[in-house]
Copies of this chain bind each other. A is one copy, B any other.
């Protein structure tokens, strides 16, 4: 079995599996190249916006985002927000999602986040519960467009 490397996103990953992996979540690889580059530069310049990727045989096969939020409560505490957990459909069932999550949970801990939170549907809940997450509330959404 090929080795999986978990690391932070680099610019050259965008068109080397990263955007096509995101397609397994929501269509992403149809994005304009220049627009994708601009988004990458914006995210990359923000140390509180971290995208971790899974690389296998030189290609990106999955990714997850961690946003670190500074708050005034909790004595100026930090909160980690997990977003867009995805593994390319062809590579699911190999614990790649779990490895990316554990990598980001460690970053959140090292950065001093007092909690890490995420939103998920009922079907996906057991995956996060195995990682130690517990349901505490509801996610609500307002469509703006």
> By the criterion CB–CB under 8 Å, are A28 and B142 in contact?
no
Band of interface residues on A = 35 or more
Q: How far is the CA of A24 from the CA of B22 in the complex (A)?
A: 40
Number of identical monomers bound together in the oligomeric complex:
2
B residues within 8 A CB of A27? 73
B residues within 8 A CB of A81? 67, 81
A109 → B minimal CB distance (Å) = 5
Residue of B nearest to A25 (CB): B73
Residues of A within 8 A of B (CB): 18-19, 22, 25-28, 30-32, 35-36, 38-39, 42-43, 46, 49, 65, 67, 69-76, 80-81, 83-84, 105, 108-109, 113-122, 125, 128-129, 131-145
A–B pairs, 12, beta carbons within 8 Å: A26-B73, A35-B76, A67-B69, A80-B144, A115-B144, A117-B139, A119-B137, A119-B139, A122-B138, A132-B142, A136-B140, A138-B138
